[in-house]
Structure 1
Amino acid sequence: MRRGRGSLVVSFFVQGVTFALLVTRIPAVQDRYGISDALLPAFLAAVPVLAGVGSVCAGKLVRRVAPSAVLRWAQPVVLLALLAVGAGEGLWQVAVALGAFGLAVGALDAAMNMLGVSLQQAYGRSIMLGFHAAYSLGGIAGASLAWAAVHWDVALAVSYLAVVVVVLPAALLGSRWYVDGERRTAEGPAGRAGRAAGTLVPLCLVMTFAYIGDSTVSNWSAKYMTDVLRGSEELATVPYNAYMVTTLLGRAVGDLGVRRLGAVAVVRGGAVLAAAGFGAVAVAPGPWAGLAGFTVLGLGLSVLVPQTFAAARDDAEVARLNVFNYAGFLVGSPLVGALGDAWSYRGAMVVPLVLVLMTLRYARSFDGQPDRYGGGHERPRTVDVG
Structure 2
Amino acid sequence: MTDARLGQRLRRGRGSLALSFFAQGVAFALLVTRIPAVQDRYGISDALLPAFLAAVPILAGVGSVVTERLVRRIAPSAVLRWSQPVVMLALLGVAAGTDVWQVAVALGVFGLAVGALDASMNMLGVSLQRAYGRSIMLGFHAAYSLGGIAGASLAWAGAHWDLSLLVSYLPVVGVLLPVVLVGSRWYADQERVPQTQDVAPGERDGAGVGFRLLLPFCLVMAFAYIGDSTVSNWSAKYLQDVLGSSEEVATVPYNAYMVTTLLGRAVGDLGVRRFGAVAVVRCGTVLAAAGFAVVAVAPGPAVGILGFTLLGFGLCVIVPQTFAAAGRRAVEAGGPGASDAAVARLNIFNYVGFLVGSPLVGALGDAWSYRWAMVVPMVLVLVTLRYARSFGAEPAGYGGGHERPRIVDVGRGGNEV
Q: How many Å separate the matches in 2 of 1:355 and 1:273? A: 13
Query: Structure 1 residue 361 and structure 2 residue 386: aligned?
Result: yes
Aligned to 1:175: 184
- 2:401 matches 1:375: no
Structure 2 residue 131 is matched with structure 1 residue 122: yes
Letter in 2 for 1:232: S
Separation in structure 2 between the aligned mates of residue 48 and residue 85 of structure 1, nearest angstrom: 16
Distance (Å, rounded) in 1 between the aligned partners of 2:38 and 2:112: 19
Would the alpha carbon gap of residues 164 and 378 (structure 1) be closer, same or farther in structure 2, given more than 3 Å must change?
closer
Unaligned runs of 5+ in 2: 1-9, 194-198, 331-338, 411-417
State the secondary structure of the residue aligned to 2:356.
helix
How far apart, in 1, do the equivalents of 2:166 and 2:208 lie? 45
Residue 344 of structure 1, CA deviation: 0.3
Name the structure 1 match of 2:68: 59
Determine the structure 1 residue equivalent to 2:324.
310
Deviation for aligned residue 1:15: 0.2
Can you give the 5+ residue segments of structure 1 that lack an aligned partner in the other structure?
382-386
In the alignment, structure 1 residue 288 sits paired with structure 2 residue 302: yes
2: CA distance, partners of 1:17 / 1:299? 21
* Residues in 1 aligned to 2:128 and 2:83: alpha-carbon distance in whole angstroms: 20
SS of structure 1 residue aligned to 2:387: helix
Q: Kindly state the Cα deviation for residue 188 of structure 1 after the two structures are TM-superposed.
A: 2.0
Aligned 8 A contact 1:85 1:98 in 2: yes
- 1:353: Cα distance to partner? 0.4
Look up the match of 1:384.
none
Q: Note the C-alpha offset of 1:127.
A: 0.2
- The structural deviation recorded for 1:197 is 2.3
Name the SS of the counterpart of 1:42 in structure 2.
helix
Letter in 2 for 1:276: A
Residue 181 of structure 1 and its aligned partner are, at CA, apart by: 2.0
2: CA distance between counterparts of 1:182 and 1:66? 10
Q: C-alpha distance in 2, partners of 1:8/1:194? A: 28
Match of 1:45 among 32, 50, 54: 54
**Cα 1:259–1:379 shift into 2, 3 Å:** farther
Match of 1:227 among 225, 235, 241: 241
Structure 1 residue corresponding to 2:259, chosen from 245, 257, 260: 245
Counterpart contact for 1:121–1:379, Cα < 8 Å? no
Q: Does 1:11 align with 2:25?
A: no
Q: Tell me the SS of whatever aligns to 1:187.
A: coil
**Residue type of the alignment partner of 1:149:** G
* Higher mean C-alpha deviation, range 209-218 or range 366-375: 366-375
Secondary structure of the 2:403 match is coil
Report the secondary structure of 1:54's partner residue. Answer: helix
Conservation of the 8 A alpha-carbon contact between 2:191 and 2:409: no
Specify the alignment match of 1:330 in structure 2: 355
- In the alignment, the residues of structure 2 paired with residue 337 and residue 198 of structure 1 have an alpha-carbon distance, to the nearest angstrom, of 31
How far is 1:271 from its partner?
0.3
Query: Which residue type is aligned with residue 203 of structure 1?
Result: F
Shift of residue 364 of structure 1? 1.0
Task: Give the aligned CA root-mean-square deviation in angstroms.
Answer: 1.8
Identity of aligned residues (%): 76
Distance 1:14 1:265 in 2: 30
Partners of 2:118 and 2:347 within 8 A in 1 = yes
Q: 1:188 maps to which residue?
A: 203
- Which of 207, 222, 228 is 2:221 aligned to? 207
Judge conservation of contact 1:124–1:380 (CA < 8 Å) in 2: no
Could you tell me which amino acid in structure 1 is paired with residue 363 of structure 2? A
1:342 is matched with which residue: 367, 372, 376?
367
Instruction: Tell me which amino acid in the other structure corresponds to 1:89.
Output: T
What does residue 86 of structure 1 align with?
A: 95
Deviations 1:171-230 (A, max 9, x none): 11110100002238982269x996432121000000000000000000000000000000
| Secondary structure at the counterpart of residue 376 of structure 1 | coil
For residues 355 and 4 of structure 1, what CA distance do their matches in structure 2 show? 36
1:161 aligns with 2:175: no
Structure 2-normalised TM-score? Answer: 0.89
Q: How many residues align?
A: 380
CA distance in structure 2 between the partners assigned to 1:104 and 1:283 by the alignment: 40
Q: What one-letter code is carried by the residue in structure 1 that aligns with 2:321? A: Q
